[in-house]
Structure 1
Amino acid sequence: MDFFDYLNKHGVIYSARDGILYIYESLDLVGASVSELCDYLTVMGDFYWPDGSVYKMPKKLTVYGDLYICNNAITALPDDLMVGGDLDLSETAISQLPNNLIVGGDLGLGYTQITRLPNNLSVGGDLNLSHTFVTELPDDLFVGGEIDR
């Protein structure tokens, strides 16, 4: 299903401005058969994307709430990802994170293929590294909460 068809079918409030698609509420793609998301996407609420229907993250994705991508086949995050709340990547095929990633809330990396953390990673809440291959923490890491190893 086309992404815009999905938005219209489910009554999602959105608009396009300055080349960016703004979703003015939380977006739930659980069970959706959307094959591709558009680039330059801003979600004002939470974004639930826990299945494998889409394998590529959009460029310039901004989520003001929480972003749940757990149990997804996603293998890479865009360099310009911004998440204001929690970012849950648990049980994904992600093997690395972009440098300078800022997550306003918790960052869940449990059961991923992550081997090292990126430069200048900032996590406002807790950092879950359980069942990952991370063996050392970078000097420039900021975590506002606790680190679960």
Structure 2
Amino acid sequence: MKLDQASAMIDAALADARARNAKPLGVIVLDAGGHPVAFEREDGASLFRFDIARAKALGALGMGADTREIAARAASNPAFFTSVAVATGGSLALSAGGVLVRDGEGQVIGAVGISGDTSDVDEACALTGIAAAGLHHGGGQ
């Protein structure tokens, strides 16, 4: 994951959020190893937006699936996913808005996490950002 790709994702995600009149967001892009490449927090975004966005992105990487899919799986096995959240020190958020980022060959090169509005809006902005950077999104492994 390159910085210019991460910056393009964030810029497009935030532009989409403003077009949707979304609440202020926090947006993070992680590389495939879970290291932060870029993060922005809009004016007015609440205190935990960085932490939640990071948990969404890191959870997607760690579990190998977008957080929408992980949340659906957690609904039928809450004890396991609660254990995962505890075992990882809270590095897993069980709501949409954490999306895997893939290159042109389908390899996971990172993840984007967004927090601040509803999980559906967070996820939609992430998808817009990924597409604007010329990359591909999601799915499970």
TM-score by structure 2 length? Answer: 0.23
* Structure with the largest fraction of strand: 1
- Greater C-alpha Rg: 1
* Structure with the largest fraction of helix: 2
Which gives a bigger RCO, structure 1 or 2 (Cα 8 Å, sep 6+)? 2
TM-score by structure 1 length? Answer: 0.22
